[in-house]
Chain A
Amino acid sequence: MAESKKTVFLANIWKNNPVIVQILGICSALAVTNNLTNTLIMGVGLIFVTAFSSLTISALRRMIPKNVRMMVQVLIIATYVIILDIVLKAYLPSISKALGPYVGLIITNCIIMGRAEAFAQSHGSVLSFLDGVSAGIGYSLVLLAVAFIRELLGFGTVFGVRVMPGGFTPWVIMIMAPSAFFILGAIIWIARTPIVKKK
């Protein structure tokens, strides 16, 4: 069988990475990438939501009528996002505040819808769950890479700990929006090099 658990899991992390290869779902999360801690929390949240909504959608796939499935999927996703939002507010209030509207915006993150449509719709629950987890991980890894560069050069810190020597001048541009686009562009450029060479 071509789609064993392992291949499904690994494909999303590298070969079929949602951000680099499919250019999906950069909407909601680039904004939090100027800080590694926030990005990590966002990534974990996203993995949670993708995994469980894939699981639910796949378990219910025979019961959902075809013509209203988008609506049902959005509602399922929104339910998990509300759970995530409430948990964050209760246990990590300061981070919940820093993330602001971007937690709610996970609902419209195309990755979750994309995985639901492309995978959970037609596969079993366990596989869909794994697919959701790995899509979330693949996505978080790219975001963490962006956040690492931005925080290191923008503040001279990694996870809030100072690593740059004292004389280091922070690059103000790294804290601001354009740098996220440049870094992501560069990451896509580097990551696509082996793919292009193979052709």
Chain B
Amino acid sequence: MGVPLNPFVIMIAAALTSNMVLSNFLGMCSFISVSKDIKTANGLGMAVTFVLTLTSVLNYIVYYYILLPLNLDYLRYIVFIVVIAAFVQFLEMVIDRFSPALYINLGIFLPLITVNCAILGGVLFMIIREYSLIQSLFFGFGSGAGWWLAIVALSAMRMRMREKDLPPQLVGPGITMIIIGIMALAFMGFSGMLPVQ
């Protein structure tokens, strides 16, 4: 695109109109497996938002200031995933050292995040859409916040579904997919609110 969009518009668009999970199918694995309980879902959502915001910026710097000048564009997948993994590892150590309370809440989710498609997906979208540094920061935060919102909403619904009398084949993943489908329909209501997709 390369259009000088308002970073704030990008953030809202990433969170609502083109939500990471509901319209781009990113981060589905943990979206389904960790959404059984609202508290854990909240913790993971928070961790994803935090990591996604910072790795977007980090990978922006690595891509435009190291990879492109050296003509190593084709190595970008390896470099991105290494940056993400290293950052998550680093974050885990820092949190463990300075805030044990936060570590208990957030720490267990950090290893999961390295292989969360939403993070790598966010970074790749940022490169493909040619966002600037500020736009990337807002895009990363918006995508993370959208993911957080979606997983908390889904886990709340799943907790209520637990007592319902479902056909046995649908219990678990089947009904979850259908709930996510309805959520995606609801989120489509946001489209048209903003000029970008």
How far does the alpha carbon of A104 sit from the alpha carbon of B75 in the complex, in Å? 11
Q: C-beta contact mask, A90-106 vs B, less than 8 Å → 1, else 0?
A: 00000000001100110
A193, closest chain B residue (CB) = B169
Across the interface, name the chain A residue whose C-beta is closest to B178: A185
In the complex, which residue of chain A has the Cβ closest to the Cβ of B184?
A: A178
Interface check B29, CB cutoff 8 A: yes
| Bound CA span A193–B168, Å | 8
- A104, B124: Cβ atoms closer than 8 Å: yes
A163 interfacial by beta-carbon distance below 8 Å: no
Main secondary structure, interface of B, reads helix
Which of the four size classes fits the interface of chain B? 35 or more
Which B residues between 74 and 101 are near A, CB-CB below 8 angstroms?
74-78, 80-82, 85
A181 touches B33 (CB 8 A): no
* A142 CA to B115 CA, complexed, in Å: 22
**B126 — nearest CB in chain A belongs to which residue?**
A101
Pairwise interchain contact A178-B169, C-beta atoms closer than 8 A: no
Residues of chain A having any CB pair with chain B under 8 Å:
23-31, 70-71, 74-75, 78-79, 81-82, 85-86, 100-101, 104-105, 107-110, 113, 176-182, 184-186, 188-190, 192-193, 195-196
Question: What are 17 inter-chain pairs, A to B, with CB distance below 8 A?
Answer: A30-B28, A31-B25, A74-B114, A75-B81, A75-B82, A101-B128, A104-B80, A104-B124, A110-B115, A176-B23, A177-B25, A182-B177, A184-B177, A185-B178, A190-B169, A192-B170, A193-B169
Residues of B at under 8 Å CB distance from A?
22-29, 32-33, 74-78, 80-82, 85, 111, 114-117, 119-121, 124-125, 128, 167-170, 173-178, 180-182, 184-185, 188
